[in-house]
Structure 1
Amino acid sequence: MKGDKKKILSIEYGSKSKMIVYIIIRALVIGVMIAQILNKNWDNVFICGLTLILLLLPSLLSYQLKIVLPNTLEIIIVCFIFAAEILGEVQEYYVIFEGWDDMLHTINGFLAAAVGFAMIDVLNEHERVSMTLSPAFVAVVAFCFSMTIGVLWEFFEFSMDYFFGKDMQKDTWISSFHSVALNPEGANVPVDMNVESVTVNGQRWEQYLDIGLYDTMKDLFVNFVGAVVFSVFGLIYIKNRGRGFAARFIPRLREDKKKEG
């Protein structure tokens, strides 16, 4: 009896926590939007409006995939959207804090793996679907789905930079590189080049400006880290099926849909 009461209280606390987070985040977004309207910064007003729409994403995922999102995972998604759009873009945290973009790409890898995991696991558990997949296979699919989303996002960033003159793939200053093209004998042996100065349109730089490559590979690497972490959580969850710390991050099929036949 006491255990049941604790469980009920835990569920209610989680719901209240989620509600409080939603209220605070939405209030902050609306406050920032009003400030941007007063400053006539219409690009940021659009971002704020987009953020309010994206905050509906967890509910849409739950409805479309017929799943239940754990409170912890849903709070992470909401905070991620706020950190990426409002803090990152509007408040320029991408420029102010060097590791901000890396942190968000790591979380993105984690969340994308959660979606991939849910799509396979809920089918695996559904009574109308004849599937019996091993925990390792489900974890691998979740990992691959996350990495695919990461690659598609990098395609999007490159397209925005190339066709619309944006700078989503941030440039990196580097002081040395290795290149076969600079080998004086034309051999397939890279030459080490230490950059002392570069002149572009009469302007002298002390380092070479890499155009997006380092940023892209770093984004994919941290996405890989996030995907691996969630895949491990997924393995633990399946083996314990609904128990333990990992259950806080794993979407699950709604009971009414699981028994639907």
Structure 2
Amino acid sequence: MKAINNYLKRLHNRIKENKGTFILYTILRLMVLAALIRSILIHNYEGAAVCLLTLVLFILPSFLEGSLQVEIPGLFQGIIYCFIFAAMILGELHNYYTKIPIWDTALHTLNGFLFAAVGFVTIDLLNRNSKNVHLSPLYLTMVAFCFSMTIGVLWEFIECAGDLFFGQDMQKDFIVQVFQSCKLDPTNNQQAIKVADIIKTQIFTASGQVFEVEGGYLDIGILDTMKDLLVNLIGAVVFCIFGFVYLHYGSKKKLAASVVEGLRIQPAPEPAEEEEEA
């Protein structure tokens, strides 16, 4: 009950401080609830589970504020809400990952940017409140970069586990026309044999099924993983540049200052002491 009261209190304060973020949160939440009801009515229970998970993720920023005793800026929260909605509802429920090929790439790029920001503002908060340790701008931004890339690698592990153990296709496939493999070397001397100009691949199963892949050879996830990590790196580097410039030059560089200060986490204010009744 205390946790619920604290959540409602933080929500009330958020409404007073940043009505724009609250309006965005309300609109997205109503859209998810509508999608949840529709999924139940059409017996799409997997979609309903996605909607429920989205609603849980929406309260994560407020939960972190209460647990860590910090204040997450309204801009940062708004970006997080939009990212969750784009990944879960648009990407998973409405199949944007398939309908819009660049959707996955865009979200992985934003993921790299956001988690670099999370790493940066967290270490920056500790750095500002520590009397004994003062990290240089370069070191702080390198930590933020490594944090973002670590999250990106862990997510690729999750995608691989989903494919191997749950029969998913989270690591999307690519059609390639050329590849090299030592497995094709008849001498077993680790010579890479090149296979080029592939126009069709046939796959035969033990049950007698035959699958044809037109246009080349089916690469099952390697290129997708490398692409995801590359764009995650790009997103992380972009934020780290902003972060380094801001730490080095302060508010003199207005663009960097507006980006970092808009995402900068602050310690939660001390609760006001209640006045004693006379």
TM over 0.5: yes
Number of residue pairs aligned between Structure 1 and Structure 2: 246
TM-score by length of 2: 0.81
Deviation at 1:118, TM superposition (A): 2.0
Farther off after superposition, 88-97 or 199-208: 199-208
1:246 aligned partner, one-letter code: V
- Kindly indicate whether the alpha-carbon contact (under 8 Å) linking 2:178 and 2:194 is maintained by their aligned counterparts in 1: no
Decide whether aligned partners of structure 1 residues 192 and 204 sit closer, same or farther in structure 2, where only a CA change above 3 A counts.
closer
Q: How do 1:181-260 and structure 2 match up within 5 A?
A: 181-183=183-185, 186=189, 188-189=191-192, 191-201=194-204, 202-206=210-214, 207-241=216-250, 244-254=257-267, 256=269
Query: Contact 1:236–1:246 at 8 Å: present in 2 too?
Result: no
Cα pair distance change 1:249/1:210, threshold 3 Å: farther
Whether the 8 Å contact between 1:88 and 1:100 is mirrored in structure 2 is yes
User: Tell me, which stretches of 5 or more residues in structure 2 are unaligned?
Assistant: 1-13, 205-209, 271-278
Residue range with higher mean Cα deviation, 113-122 or 213-222: 113-122
Measured at CA, do residues 208 and 192 of structure 1 come closer, stay the same or move farther in structure 2, by a change above 3 Å? closer
- Quick one: structure 1 residues 120 and 130, their matched pair in 2 at CA, closer, same or farther if it must change by over 3 Å? same
CA RMSD of aligned residues (A): 2.3
Taking only the aligned residue pairs, the percentage that are identical comes to 43
Letter in 2 for 1:157: E
Query: TM-score with structure 1 length normalisation?
Result: 0.86
Instruction: Provide, for residues 38-62 of structure 1, a one-character-per-residue CA deviation record: whole Å limited to 9, x for no partner.
Output: 1111111011011001011222233
**Which residue number corresponds to residue 157 of structure 2?**
155
Work out whether residues 67 and 251 of structure 1, in 8 Å CA contact, stay in contact via their aligned partners in 2.
no
Aligned to 1:48: 51
Q: Aligned equivalents of 2:34 and 2:75: distance in 1?
A: 25
Counterpart of 1:75 (choices 78, 84, 91) is 78
Higher relative contact order (CA 8 A, sep 6+): 1
Instruction: Give the whole-Å Cα distance in 2 for the aligned partners of 1:42 and 1:119.
Output: 37
Cα distance, 1:240 vs structure 2: 4.5
Question: Contact 1:150–1:223 (CA<8 Å) still a contact in 2?
Answer: yes
- Structure 1 unmatched runs, 5+: 1-10
